[in-house]
Copies of this chain bind each other. A is one copy, B any other.
Amino acid sequence: MNISYRLADIAAQLGGRVLGDSEVCVAQVATLENAQARHISFLANSKYRAQLANTRAGAVILGESDAGATDLPRIVSDNPYAYFAKVSALLNPLPETTSGVHLNAFVGADAQIDATASIAALAVIGAGAAIGAHSVIGEGCCIGANTVIGSHARLYPHVVIYHDCLIGDNLIAHSGAVIGSDGFGIAMNEGRWVKIPQIGRVVIGNDVEIGANTTIDRGALDDTVIEDGVKLDNQIQIAHNVRIGAHTAIAGCVGIAGSTSIGRHCRIGGSAGILGHLHIADNVEIAAFTLVGKSIREAGSYAAIFPFSKTEDWRKNAAHLRHLDELAKRVKTLEQEIALLKGKEQ
């Protein structure tokens, strides 16, 4: 690739204020530490300001409060991290794909593939499915019957979407993601489990990204819903009938049990879990490794992490957890006895 931009061009497209030589050309983004003359770097947090002194970057993106902290050609932005993201997108356009259906793809009856879409080798598009404009379906993807995918989707190789799902525009789905598999619905009957058919769908809004090997089950009766702008990292499990509110971001390995609804603009840390049938309010932040076992009605930050320590210390401390109730009772007894002693004193 030979893409490069003058700072002036970047600011013309993305806004921001250029300080220093606006004719400087940059061809790639890089960290302050590893940047070279053709790179543009960024300072998102004033606390790393010292790194500006040694960078060999050709230009830097930074916030108003750091605008004077370097003499390098620079772009000043209210939100240098988001600005950097946009510059990187300019400098790193997605590789072009050829539109059309590969000779070795399989397209079912009555499927509607937009003429600008690209269906790679070994992809399977089920009967009655629809693929929107400029969408790219990677090698080996399987799209189930009657599933509808909007425009500008990008499915990396080996994404599976089951039948009858409804997906908005701009979906990014990484390899191994499975969307629309059966929810875990079973009923006990005379010592054996009976399967409950999962007849709901998965409905996904616009601008959603789904990480590698993440799974989203279809609803049991009603739908599983992922609203606009939701970002899911890798290896997340979303059970049937979950609803995830718009612009919520969830880190890797999180599990969300059935019928729970999560608000908008939430942030959920890695390997956290949320039990089923709960409601989580908007703007809730949940720490990594935290299990949420009750509904959260109030925005804010929640946690439940056992602090780690050397194993020998952990062992000594953790042993008391099995007797914490007794310890609390002993403290109460002590308080009563002290009260008694103090009473006698007086």
Interface on A for B, CB 8 Å cutoff?
Answer: 28-31, 34, 79, 81-82, 84-86, 88-89, 92, 95, 104, 106, 121-122, 124, 138-140, 142, 145, 156-158, 160, 162-163, 172, 174-176, 178, 181-182, 184-189, 191-197, 199, 207, 209, 211-213, 215, 217, 221-222, 229, 231, 233-235, 237, 239, 247, 249, 251-253, 255, 257, 265, 270-271, 273, 275, 285-294, 300-325, 327-328, 330-331, 334-335, 337-338, 341-342, 344-345
Contacts and interface: CB of A to CB of B under 8 A. Distances in A.
B222 A235 contact: no
Contacts of A81: 187
B174 A178 contact: yes
A193 B322 CA distance: 38
12 contacts: A30-B221, A124-B140, A156-B162, A158-B158, A182-B211, A239-B252, A270-B273, A285-B311, A291-B308, A302-B308, A320-B324, A327-B331
A145 B181 CA distance: 27
Contacts of A337: 338, 342
Given A124-B122, A310-B302, A176 B160 contact: yes
B331 A176 contact: no
B194 A82 contact: yes
Nearest to A160: B175
Given A222-B31, A229-B192, A175 B174 contact: no
Contacts of A82: 187-189, 194
B157 A231 contact: no
Contacts of A285: 311
B309 A322 contact: yes
Report copies per complex.
3
Contacts of A30: 221
Top 3 nearest A-B pairs by Cβ distance? A304-B308, A82-B189, A181-B212
Nearest to A124: B139
Contacts of A174: 178, 181-182
| Most B Cβ at <10 Å: residue of A84, A163, A273 | A273
A237 B209 contact: no
A130 to B, nearest CB: 18
A121 B328 CA distance: 65
B300 A305 contact: no
Nearest to A267: B188
Contacts of A34: 221-222
Contacts of A86: 194
Given A156-B160, A252-B239, A253-B237, A287 B303 contact: no
Nearest to A301: B311
Contacts of A341: 338, 341-342, 345
A69 to B, nearest CB: 21
Contacts of A287: 311, 314
